[in-house]
Structure formats: C-alpha cells, structure tokens
Amino acid sequence: MPIVTRDNIKCLHFGYGDIFVGDIQDDNGRTEGVAFILSQPREIGSEWEESKGQTLDSFDTHVVMKFDDIKSLDVVIQVLEATRNSMRLQRNAY
C-alpha cells in the first residue's frame, strides 16, 4: 500500500513490504532517528542494500522521525509494543 496524505494527515499503511524502514544518521555517523521510504515491494523485514551509504536526498523519503531525547523513542516503542499486543489479542495481526 502506498504512503498517502489525506486531509493533511500522512498515512503509512504497513504489511505489504513496500515501505522501507531504516535508521538515519547525522553527518558524524551518529544514529538520530528513523526514515520511512516508499520502495518496491519485497519480503517484509528484508535488507535493502540500495540504501547503504546513501543520503535521504537519494530517495523519495516520506517520513522522518528524529529523536533528541531517548525517552521519546522509548514512548514510541511502548506504543508500538502495546499496538502489537492488542492486534495479537484480536487475532488480526498475522
């Protein structure tokens, strides 16, 4: 599914292997966040060799999440884990 914007809301629809998720680094090589890039469908979770050593300008980057405080990243992880657990309980995740 594509990454779309509707009514000024960016929607990333996962589950089809067409959104690459990778870490982003600053100019000094320090990890500072995550990028979500629309790509050709591939197996979910597979490596995307084409991205290694490239800058975000090289891709059609749709969403970037940057973290200045690791506590903020912890909150995002907690919400994603809670979402996964809820989906598993509802039996609609896999």
Kindly state the percentage of the chain with pLDDT values over 70: 91
Residue 1: the pLDDT is 57
Determine the straight-line distance between the first and last CA of the chain, rounded to whole angstroms. 17
Domain that holds residue 57: 3-68
41 and 48 in contact (C-beta within 8 Å)?
Answer: no
pTM for the predicted model, two decimal places: 0.78
- What residues have CB less than 8 Å from 93, skipping those under 6 apart? 84, 87
Range of lowest pLDDT (5-9, 40-44, 54-58): 54-58
Cα(85)–Cα(80) distance, integer angstroms: 9
Instruction: Tell me if 35 is assigned to some domain.
Output: yes
Half-sphere exposure of 61 (CA within 13 A, CB side): 16
15 and 41 in contact (C-beta within 8 Å)?
Answer: no
Q: Domain tally for the chain? A: 1
Instruction: Tell me if 41 is assigned to some domain.
Output: yes
